[in-house]
Structure 1
Amino acid sequence: MGKLWLICIASISILLPFLCNAFSPETPTDRRVLVLLDDFAIMSSHSLYFNALKSRGFDLEFKLADDPKIALQRYGQYLYDALILFCPSVERFGGSIDVAAIVNFVDSGHDLIVAADVNASDLIREVGTECGVDFDEDPSAMVIDHIGYAVSGTEGDHTLIASDDFIKSDVILGGKKIEAPILFRGIGHAVSPANSLVLKVLSASPSAYSANPKSKLSTPPPLTGSAISLVSIVQARNNARLLITGSLSMFSNRFFRSGVQKARSQTKHEKSGNEQFLTEISKWIFHERGHLKAVNVKHHRVGETDEPALYRINDELEYAVEIYEWSGTSWEPYVANDVQLQFYMMSPYVLKTLSSDKKGLYSTSFKVPDVYGVFQFKVEHQKLGYTSLSLSKQIPVRPYRHNEYERFIPAAYPYYGAAFSMMAGFFIFSFAHLYSK
């Protein structure tokens, strides 16, 4: 019996490494991106865009959108850091992916790029709706512009748009100006003005409208003018970033290399702005720019270095925090003049703009208000193009103890004088009343 037990233990010890490897969750590689395609031919027709991502260190994994083996997570761990949907015609995703899985992927802080196109499926339109945009409901509609179209020898319906109405943000589009217009052919979408998380990055001109180019208009089109968004971005409250566009062609090698001349313009550009535009905006989408972090949050009384457990009213204190921005390769000091601190209890009692040393350190000093209770140090920094910072820490504020008050307050000297004069007058009156005849 003892020998059999030893043999079983030896067998288990031999098989244990294999069992652990078989059931251990696969650790996702940093900067891994899943690209879902309608057809593997897109890998070659859009190779310039994919190669630009690879050159920046991204590990792209290409799969057909209806592949039954695809999955975003395994054993509760996400396998990818970002998802690119270049599959506008897919009717149903394969494997365990559906709209709810994509929403959960974004809710977990991961990034997403969605490229729809003409005759986009209801599935892709539903993904766009979940991202905060509404594509034109007409399945045959395209963006048409009879004034802002791109001059082309083979295009007569003016669905090839040359747009240069960009968002004004160096953080999102980079510091270098995009000189050439963007070539766009596809469907437009609308953005709700009440949704502050969605921003139009590339808008149509006031002369554009969305309709079927092969039929005459019988009713006014639902989308017209600058209300049509060609490319939109979303920064969720958890700082996940999304890009939604109605044109898969704008990512193609053909549009990257094509020259462009806008109608009614004498300037002809040898190369469109698509490559620069999409490269710069992908840097923002994948947090290579505009990503902030805050470290080394400190507060203490003036003249001290240790952080106290509580403060007393009217204490002089100092607050400091270090803020850095990711440059794509390293953390660099974040320089701004609008980072504010609130000393908060139900409402801000103190609101101070933090001063910067241009090296990432933000600091200020102030006097604790003459109100005791539970306060919070709060830094809420939200700026266009940057990830939001939300820092808070509770700290109690107590009143003076009975032995911490001044024994004689200069402002109360008149009251002291009145009290002592009253006692002296009472003594004199009593003496006079008792001993006078």
Structure 2
Amino acid sequence: MSKSVLLFTLIALLPFLTYAFSPENPTDRKVLVLLDDFAIKSSHSLFFKSLQSRGFDLDFKLADDPKIALQRYGRYFYDALILFAPTIERFGGSVDSAAILDFVDSGHDLILAADSNASELIREIATECGVDFDEDPASVVIDHTSYAVLETEGDHTLIASDDFIKSDVIVGSQKIEAPVLFQGIGHTLNPANSLVLKALSASPAAYSANPKSKLSSPPQLTGSAISLVSVIQARNSARILISGSLSLFSNRFFKSGVQKAGSPTKFDKSGNEQFSVELSKWVFHERGHLKAVNVRHHKVGESDEPAMYRINDELEYSVEIYEWSGKTWEPYVTDDVQVQFYMMSPYVLKTLSTNNKGLYHTAFKVPDVYGVFQFKVEYQKLGYTTLSLSKQIPVRPFRHNEYERFIPTAYPYYGSAFSMMAGFFIFTIVHLYNK
């Protein structure tokens, strides 16, 4: 075999080899961490250690390293990206904003942290993800009512926020008691992007401005419209976390005590560590990641899947749904999974029953309409990956020899037909032979 033929064969088999060696579990993944400075590796070591303790392989590189690359020949080297380089003006190697967006479009996850010195490159990436940072590069979030109480109060740019998203699957089922310390730049959500959610919001009294200068006009970003930390789940199930504060993930904020202004309670430790770790579990699919297997349908009383159904057939539909717990696949239990029997529009909509062991099932009658139908399950729930299942099946009418021959409800019509025949026969006899 010539070298050219061998090379062509290897290139042709590359997609199959890539698939064959892809990790079976969502958390068996390698993460690229891009930094402004290697000092961040030690100043944020607690956050990184929490990831490594959960089995992630972190590859630390400077953001301007000329050798960094996310993929080659369509094969990605990493499954997730942590971007802790808020001041970077230009990435090294083959990485740029388009490459990072393609990385996300390919189903990979991203954590991006900015601060008041965020570069145009970081702002551009955030904007493409549906998040708009304050246009003024010197602006930070200021709050004169929900700031963190210190020995010497300053300009109230160190905020203690406890306005978390109401979702246990995103921030964890264990309540975060202590407020989260935040110091950085605020952002708003693009109203045209319905996939972006506020994970941590500013208080109604907050605003974004330059603390070193007097306000000559009302600030553009004010109140609860300001998001401090946002999350996005794309339609391809890729997940993104965008924070306006790099310090939020730092060891200093993890270990720092906190007391929110106006509150008598002082916490020995802020909620930063719990909040950051729980969010990272969601972003890296350790929670809220669903899969559906064994989608089946068949006639009642049978077990084999037919090639088609007949109108008015009784059928059963079932599917198994599991959630990744971080270590194993466990049954997903809920009461809001629905199936549609669909042709142009749903003819049947049924809520699936569950046995609390992952199996969802229902039974219904095929509508009295023939054509090409689909079994469709479109499951969308806050914090969970989207399940989109579809199976096509034709539905035929009765054959000519399948109709019931003498229908009881038609007896009056039968009687009228035979009485008409008898009457015509009697009339003929009378007309012919009566003088």
| Residues 1:84 and 2:45 aligned together | no
Residue 378 (structure 1) aligned to one of 376, 379, 383 = 376
Residue 314 (structure 2) aligned to one of 312, 316, 325 = 316
Aligned length: 418
Paired letter, 2:427: F
SS in 2 for 1:269: coil
- Alpha-carbon distance in 2 for matches of 1:394, 1:267: 59
TM-score (norm 1): 0.93
| Residues 1:234 and 2:232 aligned together | yes
| Residue equivalent to 2:288 | 290
- The Cα of 1:75 is off from its aligned counterpart by 3.2
- Alpha-carbon distance in 2 for matches of 1:86, 1:416: 85
| Residue equivalent to 1:34 | 32
- Alpha-carbon distance in 2 for matches of 1:328, 1:199: 23
Residue 143 (structure 1) aligned to one of 131, 135, 141 = 141
- Alpha-carbon distance in 2 for matches of 1:76, 1:413: 71
- Alpha-carbon distance in 2 for matches of 1:329, 1:61: 22
SS in 1 for 2:323: strand
| Residue equivalent to 2:97 | 99
- The Cα of 1:412 is off from its aligned counterpart by 1.3
| Residue equivalent to 1:329 | 327
| Residue equivalent to 1:212 | 210
Residue 58 (structure 1) aligned to one of 56, 68, 71 = 56
- The Cα of 1:73 is off from its aligned counterpart by 1.0
Kindly report which structure 2 residues correspond to 1:189-228, keeping only aligned pairs within 5 A, or say none. Answer: 189-228=187-226
Counterpart contact for 1:28–1:80, Cα < 8 Å: no
- Alpha-carbon distance in 1 for matches of 2:297, 2:98: 43
SS in 2 for 1:414: helix
Q: Which runs of 5+ in 2 are unaligned?
A: none
Counterpart contact for 1:372–1:397, Cα < 8 Å: yes
| Residue equivalent to 1:347 | 345
Q: Runs of 4 or more off by more than 2 Å in structure 1?
A: 24-30
- Alpha-carbon distance in 2 for matches of 1:99, 1:417: 82
- The Cα of 1:153 is off from its aligned counterpart by 2.2
Paired letter, 2:187: H
- Alpha-carbon distance in 2 for matches of 1:374, 1:155: 69
- The Cα of 1:138 is off from its aligned counterpart by 0.1
| Residue equivalent to 1:430 | 428
- The Cα of 1:423 is off from its aligned counterpart by 0.6
| Residue equivalent to 1:259 | 257
| Residue equivalent to 1:4 | none
- Alpha-carbon distance in 2 for matches of 1:410, 1:347: 34
Kindly report which structure 2 residues correspond to 1:146-157, keeping only aligned pairs within 5 A, or say none. Answer: 146-157=144-155
C-alpha deviations, 1:257-307, integer Å up to 9, x for none?
Answer: 000000011000000000000100100000000000000000001111110
Paired letter, 2:376: K
- The Cα of 1:28 is off from its aligned counterpart by 7.9
- Alpha-carbon distance in 1 for matches of 2:250, 2:91: 23
- The Cα of 1:106 is off from its aligned counterpart by 0.3
C-alpha deviations, 1:69-117, integer Å up to 9, x for none?
Answer: 0000123210001000000000000000000000100011000000001
Among all aligned residue pairs of Structure 1 and Structure 2, give the percentage whose two residues are the same amino acid: 79
Q: Which runs of 5+ in 1 are unaligned?
A: 1-8
SS in 2 for 1:140: coil
Paired letter, 1:424: A
| Residue equivalent to 2:403 | 405
SS in 1 for 2:348: strand
Counterpart contact for 1:28–1:79, Cα < 8 Å: no
- Pair 1:309–1:241, CA change in 2 (3 A): same
- The Cα of 1:154 is off from its aligned counterpart by 4.0
- The Cα of 1:192 is off from its aligned counterpart by 2.2
Counterpart contact for 1:341–1:351, Cα < 8 Å: yes
